[in-house]
Amino acid sequence: MKHGRYPFIIGFLIVPVAIYATFVIAAYVQAFQLSFTNWRGFSPDVSYIGFDNFVKLFHDDTFWKAIRHHVLLLVFLPLITIILALFFAFLLNVGGGSKGGRTRGVWGSKFYRVIFFFPQLLALALVAVIFSRVYAPDDSGLINGMLNQLGTGPVLFLADKHLALWSILAVLIWQAVGFYVVLFSAGMGSIPTEIYEAAALDGATRGTLFFKVTLPLLWNTMQVAWVYLGIAAFDAFALVSIMSVDSGGPDGATTVLGLEIYRNAFNYAQFGYASAMGVVLFFLTITFAALTLRVTRRDAIEL
C-alpha cells in the first residue's frame, strides 16, 4: 500500500495549507505589494511609488520611537518573565526538597500552579481593561485609591511619560508568567529524578541544584520561551491600544509598531505606508527569531 501514502498525506494537508495560504501567506504577499504603493484604502486604483514609503519611514521620528520601545520590551519582557517563571517553576517542582526519593514543590504547589495560570485564561483586552482600573489616577484606581487614603498623592502610572511604558510592561509580564511556569514545569518534570538525587547525595544545596542541574537541562525550553516572548515584545498592540493615554501616549511615550501601523492605516488612510511598516516589522521579527536560535545554540544533552 506504499503508493497510497502520498495522496493520503496530501489529502490531510491540503485543507489546512490552503487556509494558511489564503489567510496568512496571501495577506503577507499583499502587504509587500501594498508597501510599494500609495494606496489610501478607498479606491480600487493603486499607483506604485517604489521605495518612497521606506525612505519616508527612515525619516519618521515616531517610527524610531516605536523601535526604541520594542528594544526596551525585547530586553526586559523575556528577561523578567523567564526569571520569574523559572523561580516559580523551581519552587513548584523542586523547591520542597526531596522525600522518599522524589523531589517535590513547596507546600500548596498544586494550588499555586492553577493560580499562576489564571491570567493566561483572560482575554488580553480584558486584562487591559482591568489594569486600566488598577492604574487609574483618581480615587477609583485600585493603587491610587489606596495611596490617596494614605495621603501620598497619586502616582500617574499611565499618564507619566517616564512610567507609562514600564507600567504596561508590568502587565505584559503579569499576563505571560503563568504560561511559562507551566512550560518550565513540564520541562523540569522530564528531568530524571536520579540526577537530583545524585546531586543531593553529593550535598548540593537548592541553589546549586537549580544552577547546575535544572538550568542546563532546561536550556532548549528556555530558548523557545525567549523566542516566543521576543515575538510578544514585537506586538504589545492590544495592551498599548487599550491602556495608553491618547493612544500610544502621553506624547508617544508608549507607542509600538503595531499601533503605528493601525494608526496610519485606519486613521490617516495611508495603507501603503502602513504596509511598509508591516514589512519592516516582519523582517525585524524574523531576524530576531533567527538570531536568538543561532546565538543561543548549544549541544543538547542526551538524557
Partner 1 sequence: MSEIFKPEVDRRTLLRRAAAVGLLATPAVTMLSACVGGGDDKDDNAEKPAGTVSATNPLGIKEDEPLEIVIFNGGLGTKYATDVHIPSYNKLFPKSKVAFSQAEEIATVVQPRFTAGNPPDMVNNSGSKLMDQGALVQAGQVQDLTDLFAAPSLDIAGKTVKDTLIPGTVEQGTFKDKPYVLNYAFTVFGLWYSGKLFKDNGWTAPTTWADFTALLEKMKGKGITPFGYAGANAPYYMYTVLLTSAAKIGGADILKNIDNLEDGAWTNDAVKQAATAWAEVGAKYSNKAFLGLKHTEVQLQHNQYKVGLYPSGSWLENEQAKDTPAGFDYQLMPIPSVTAADKLPVTALYAAAGEQYFVASKGKNPRGGMEYLRHMLSKAGAIGFTQLTKTLTVVAGATDGMEISPGLTSGNKALGAAGADTFSFRFDTWYKKLDDELRAATNELFYQGGTADKFVTRMQKAADAIKADSSIEKFSR
What residues make contact with partner 1 under the rule CB under 8 A? 4, 7-8, 10-12, 14-15, 17-19, 21-22, 26-27, 29-30, 33-34, 38-46, 52, 135-138, 140, 144, 154, 156-159, 161, 245-247, 249-252, 263, 266-270, 272-273
Name which of 96 and 145 has its Cβ closer to partner 1: 145
Q: At what angle do helices 219-233 and 61-93 cross, to 10 degrees?
A: 150
Give the shortest CB-140-to-partner 1 separation in angstroms: 8
Name which of 56 and 104 has its Cβ closer to partner 1: 56
Bridge partners (DSSP) listed for residue 214: none
Query: What are 86's three cell numbers?
Result: 523559572
CA-wise closest residue to 38 among 47, 28, 30, 25: 47
Name which of 115 and 251 has its Cβ closer to partner 1: 251
Give the shortest CB-64-to-partner 1 separation in angstroms: 15
Give the shortest CB-137-to-partner 1 separation in angstroms: 4
> Could you write out the DSSP letters of every residue in 51-70?
THHHHHHHT-HHHHHHHHHH
Name which of 141 and 178 has its Cβ closer to partner 1: 141
Give the shortest CB-25-to-partner 1 separation in angstroms: 8
Integer Cα distance of 275 and 28 in angstroms: 9
**Which H, E and C letters describe 221-245, residue by residue?**
HHHHHHHHHHHHHCCCHHHHHHHCE
Give the shortest CB-184-to-partner 1 separation in angstroms: 36
| Residue the block writes with cell 535544572 | 214
Looking at residue 90, its amino acid is F
Name which of 40 and 104 has its Cβ closer to partner 1: 40
Give the shortest CB-76-to-partner 1 separation in angstroms: 23
Name which of 45 and 202 has its Cβ closer to partner 1: 45
Give the shortest CB-193-to-partner 1 separation in angstroms: 46
Query: What are 243's three cell numbers?
Result: 491602556
Name which of 96 and 250 has its Cβ closer to partner 1: 250
- Tell me if 236 sits within 8 A of 256, measured CB to CB: yes
Integer Cα distance of 171 and 133 in angstroms: 12
Give the shortest CB-160-to-partner 1 separation in angstroms: 8
Q: What residue spans of the chain are helical by DSSP H?
A: 5-20, 26-34, 52-58, 61-93, 109-121, 124-135, 142-150, 164-189, 193-201, 206-208, 215-217, 219-233, 237-243, 257-262, 271-295
Name which of 42 and 118 has its Cβ closer to partner 1: 42
Integer Cα distance of 218 and 108 in angstroms: 24
